[in-house]
Amino acid sequence: MKKIFLLVSCCMVVLSSLAQEKKSEIPSVNIKTLDGKVFNTSQLNNNGKPMIIDFWATWCKPCVTELNAISENYADWKAETGVKLVAISIDDARTMATVSPFVSGKGWDYEVYIDNNSDFRRAMNVNNVPHTFLLDGNGKIVAQHNTFAPGDEDKLYEEIVKLSGTK
């Protein structure tokens, strides 16, 4: 059993090294927009500018704290760096209906999608929420962070500035 596991892993590593140069790290998965339309994640982009993909859920306290903290400065961040935050909610059928009113009621300005069977979360290998990815204009993951403590949003902003600075 272990031998096969090892064999498969080796095959994958060898073959991936033969493959071409990495492009976007966003896998292609179908999720839904807040108004129920099917949306493919390969279409996530910010026209060459930095983009944040933030996995969250309405029942996850630190996730909501993080999104609240970022929303306080979001307008400034957008103006200065052109960054866009895409919030992917992993709320399932139990709390899915609350996502849209919740987002409106918090006064957030983000692009929100619903990944209600965690397909995108699985494809992005996210274990626990909150998990925040910072991607460059080509869709490559430049930084990421799991959990949230007050002050993390400042570190995130430093990374965004670095990214937009090197452009």
Partner 1 sequence: MKQHLTFITFIVLVFCVKFSQAQIPVISNISGNFEVDGQIYKADSSIEAPEVPEKFLNNAFLNLNYVNGNFKAGLRYEEYLGPLLGFDERYRGSGITYRYAQYSVDQIDVTVGNFYEQFGNGLIFRSYEERAIGIDNSVDGIRVGFKPLNGIYLKGIVGRQRDFFSLGEGIVRGVDADVQLNDLITKMKDAKVRLGIGGSFVSKYQKDNDPIRNLPQNVGAYAARFNLNAGKFSMNTEYAYKINDPSVVNSFIYKNGEALYLNLSYSTKGFGTTITGKRIDNMSFRSDRNATLNSLMINYLPAISKQYSYRLSTLYPYSTQPNGEMGVAGETFYNFAAKTPLGGKYGTKLSIGASAVNNIQRDSVSNDTLGYKSGFFNIGDDIYYQDINVELTKKLSKKLKLVASYIYQVYNKNVVEGEIGFDIVHANIGIIDLTYKINNKHSIRAEIQHLYTKQDRKNWAMGLIEYSISPNWSFTLFDEYNYGNDNKDLRLHYYNASMAYTKNATRISLGYVRQRAGLLCVGGVCRFVPASNGWNISITSRF
How are the residues of the chain apportioned to helix, strand and coil, as percentages rounded to the nearest 5? 40, 20, 40
Assess 126 for contact with partner 1 (CB under 8 A). Answer: yes
Among positions 44-103, residues that touch partner 1 (CB under 8 A) are 58-61, 65, 68, 92-98, 100-103
Query: Of residues 27, 73, 76, 167, which one binds partner 1 by CB under 8 A?
Result: 27
Structure tokens at 137: 């204009």
Question: Which residue, 123 or 161, is less far from partner 1 as judged by CB?
Answer: 123
In whole angstroms, how close is the CB of 148 to partner 1 at the nearest point? 9
Q: What angle do CA 17, 139, 10 make, to 5 degrees?
A: 20
Cα–Cα dist 108/131, whole Å: 18
Assess 40 for contact with partner 1 (CB under 8 A). Answer: no
DSSP state of 129: S
Taking phi over 0 as left and psi of -120 to 50 as alpha, with beta for the rest, 132 belongs to beta
Q: How many residues bind partner 1 (CB under 8 A)?
A: 69
In whole angstroms, how close is the CB of 53 to partner 1 at the nearest point? 13
Q: Are the C-beta atoms of 86 and 53 separated by less than 8 Å? A: yes
Which residues of the chain form contacts with partner 1 (CB under 8 A)? 1, 4-5, 7-9, 11-13, 15-16, 18-20, 22-25, 27-28, 34-38, 58-61, 65, 68, 92-98, 100-107, 116-119, 122-128, 131, 143-147, 149-152, 154-155
